[in-house]
Amino acid sequence: MDARQEQLLKMVVENHIETAEPVGSKFLVNAKKLEWSEATVRNDLRALEEQGYLTHPHTSAGRVPTEMGYKFFVNSLDLQNIKISKKDSAVLDGLSGTANDVEILGKQMAKAVAELSNATVVMALAPNKVYYTGLSNLFNQPEFKDLNVVLDVSSMFDRCEECLEDFFNKSEKNVNFFLGSEHPFGHFLSILSFKFGENGLFSLLGPLRMNYKRNWALVSKAKSLIV
């Protein structure tokens, strides 16, 4: 992948995250005011698809990122310079002084993060003590219009404790990304997760097409307040 293709891949990922629509060469040239011709961009998108970073729905000429494409995008993020917005920070800071009990604070934080991210948060306080919130947020995403996808993800929540047991050893005290095949919750999902206390685990779950920058900022802030 050359520098131009890398730039185009990031554009496709960012636009697909925002719109949930396939991204085409004509759109990129016009919307981004690119100096390259539409034919050049189209050839580069085709090359990125051949390399496995993009794919295209059979009903559209536009491209969407693959799991491999999202992983490249996430690995290229400058996480140290991603800052939480003042509004989001104020919401989470407002919770930190409302509860002395870690369990109560954790649940309040989980609910707030789920609402702000429009995603699902699963929190384990012990192997057999699991709390999750925001499940409807997940199923309202465009990716879950397919009934088979909904059934697959729903079955995962039926065995949530089993998935968490497998996932716990993969998680760390620091916030980490786990995309698709990197976790046991289903290849349709991405996760941001961190451990706290002796047996605590805080995980944000969303579609692969999630807002990785904002969710990183939210989960990192939650970690700073819970730990």
Q: What would the pLDDT profile of 63-77 be if each residue is shown by its tens digit?
A: 999 999 999 999 999
The answer, yes or no, to whether residue 179 has pLDDT greater than 80, is: yes
Q: Which of 95, 157, 170, 166 is nearest to 130 (CA)?
A: 157
Distances (CA, A) of 110 to 95, 132, 209: 11, 8, 20
CATH C-level class of 80-226 = alpha beta
- Give the residue extent of every domain in the chain: 3-76, 80-226
| CB neighbours of residue 114 within 10 Å | 24
Question: Sheet of 120-126: strands edge to edge?
Answer: 129-133, 120-126, 200-207, 189-196, 176-179
Distances (CA, A) of 90 to 93, 206, 221: 5, 23, 10
Report pLDDT for 111. 95
CATH C-level class of 3-76 = mainly alpha
Q: What would the pLDDT profile of 125-165 be if each residue is shown by its tens digit?
A: 887 888 889 988 988 888 887 777 777 777 777 777 777 88
